[in-house]
Structure 1
Amino acid sequence: MFELFDKVYFLKIDPELQMERLKSPLRPNPLMGANDNGPVVWGAWLEQMAREKNIPFIDASKTPMQIHEIISQ
């Protein structure tokens, strides 16, 4: 599916920050995708795939504006 996109990035996030965001009452579905083993059950698999495919990583703790600047280059 990668060939459908001009650019692909992996947003890398600290697990504690990810859990904080997942627990936010502002989310429409708090904890969706979480289980007892970690914040997101498929996160490690996606990260490994991104590494194997040499996908650039972006620090997901950045603001949306900062992330937009990075991907707009």
Structure 2
Amino acid sequence: MNAALQAGDVVRLRSGGPAMVVESLLGDGAATCVWMTYNLQRYNAVFALHTLVLSEADTERFEREGTDQ
């Protein structure tokens, strides 16, 4: 399902953690993600695509749209 990731998707690390937004996809199988903490600090980092999964909200969107990638 990671091949279907696009900018704006809400993801989490497979190992857990906060919900993050995919800011951009990089050509080397990675994505830049951003997230905010409870005190509104903004963070960003680059993650390998295989470490990311869509959040429940975006998974439901894919199911509604009939996308099975």
Q: Same fold (TM over 0.5)?
A: no
TM-score (norm: length of structure 2): 0.23
Question: By percentage of residues, which structure has more strand?
Answer: 2
Q: Which has the higher contact order (CA 8 A, sep 6+)?
A: 1
Q: Could you tell me the TM-score, scaled by structure 1's length?
A: 0.23
Kindly name which structure, 1 or 2, has the bigger radius of gyration based on alpha carbons. Answer: 1
| Higher share in helix | 1
